[in-house]
Amino acid sequence: MRIRIGSRDSQLAIKQTQIVMEGIQKAHPELELELITMKTTGDKILDRRLDQIGGKGLFVKELDQALLDGRIDLSVHSLKDLPMEIEQSIPLVGFTEREDPRDCLLYKQCYHEKTLLFCDFDSYTIGSSSRRRIVQMQKLYPNARFESIRGNVQTRLRKLEEQAFDATALAVAGLKRLGMTQRIDRIFSVEEVIPAAGQGIIAIQGRRGFDYSFLDCVCDWDSKLAAMAERAFTKEVNGGCSAPIAAYAYRKGNQFWIRGMYYSDLFQEFETGEERIQLSDERENQLYEVERVGRKLASRLRESIEGQKK
């Protein structure tokens, strides 16, 4: 049986797809796997912020259409890059074990040669197009300027060296998968910079009616719980592509935590907080429980800002 697997054609996207393919092939050597790469609209337009050109859906539009047309059988994505609303005919069918979910900072390489400390600069420019990262890093670096920088990992690192940036912020997970952790200069704790919903999780999208039981070998239940909770939080606060919304959930034993950030564009301020619940033993109940606690936290944080302003 041949399985056609779609991916964006960036180096990181292909690496993530290969991780999934290797897991499937190891458990199911009888399957014939074919990698099909595509350049998406979001990869082509790099001179504007995503919210100015149509949002995260631009990273999946071509792959979604290929699924609908039957040209591919599944697609592989960074979960954090997927829009919150997924078409029912092409559902999410798997979530891999989560890689490091944290964000990190990378300095221009010449600063290392001069043995300069980034925190000693009176004024510096950090390249980031993520409002989520910016509003949180502004508390850590109150004197910094933030300028837009877009592109894949390699493109951003090239822009860091060639343009007027002192540093750039990236996800640790992507750098780990690319074997580039030596470039990391500072890793932010999840308390300092709460990650994007789904950060570090690889999501697999399929087509309704197709048998995806062969994916069990690469799927992780705890990642699914975290993904469902974080996406429920984001949906509850209407967090789209440009909204600076953050959510990070994890399980420890039967305890489940979610930490989130809600930013009010109206009042220009944000609030963070967390919730914890005890999970029941039944998996189907767990899915309901984590989505409910995600929505509960979102409502509480939103009310803490907007309720007191009424």
Provide the residue-wise pLDDT of the chain in tens; the chain has 310 residues.
999 999 999 999 999 999 999 999 999 999 999 999 998 765 555 454 555 444 455 668 899 999 999 999 999 999 999 999 999 999 999 999 999 999 999 999 877 655 455 555 557 899 999 999 999 999 999 989 999 998 889 999 999 999 989 999 999 999 999 999 999 999 999 999 999 999 999 999 999 999 999 999 999 999 999 999 999 999 999 855 467 899 999 999 999 999 999 999 888 899 999 999 999 999 989 999 999 999 999 999 999 998 766 5
Rounded to whole angstroms, how far apart are CA atoms 50 and 67? 23
Query: Quick one: CATH architecture of 220-310?
Result: 2-Layer Sandwich (3.30)
**Does this chain's domain 1-96+201-218 share its CATH topology with 103-187?**
yes
In CATH, 103-187 is 3.40.190.10: yes
For residues 74 and 89, the answer to whether their CB atoms sit within 8 Å is: no
Among 64, 81, 100, 103, which one carries the catalytic annotation? 81
Q: How many CB atoms lie within 10 A of CB 97?
A: 15
Measured at the alpha carbon of residue 95, what is the angle toward residues 91 and 98, in degrees to the nearest 5? 150
Residue 266: the pLDDT is 85
Residues in the chain, overall count:
310
Side-chain-side CA neighbours of residue 31 (13 Å): 19
d(CA 72, CA 7): 10
Structure tokens given for 180: 């580039």
The pLDDT of residue 54: 47
Distances (CA, A) of 86 to 105, 129, 138, 286: 31, 24, 32, 21
Contact 202/77 with Cβ under 8 angstroms?
yes
Residue 309: per-residue pLDDT: 63
Q: Quote the pLDDT of residue 180.
A: 97
The answer to whether residues 275 and 257 touch, using CB atoms and an 8 Å cutoff, is: yes
CA–CA separation, 188 and 134 (whole Å): 13
81 catalytic? Reply is yes
Domain boundaries, the chain: 1-96+201-218, 103-187, 220-310
Q: Is this prediction's pTM over 0.85?
A: yes
For the domain made up of 1-96+201-218, the CATH class stated in words is alpha beta
Number of helices (H) and strands (E) in the chain: give both, helices first.
10, 13
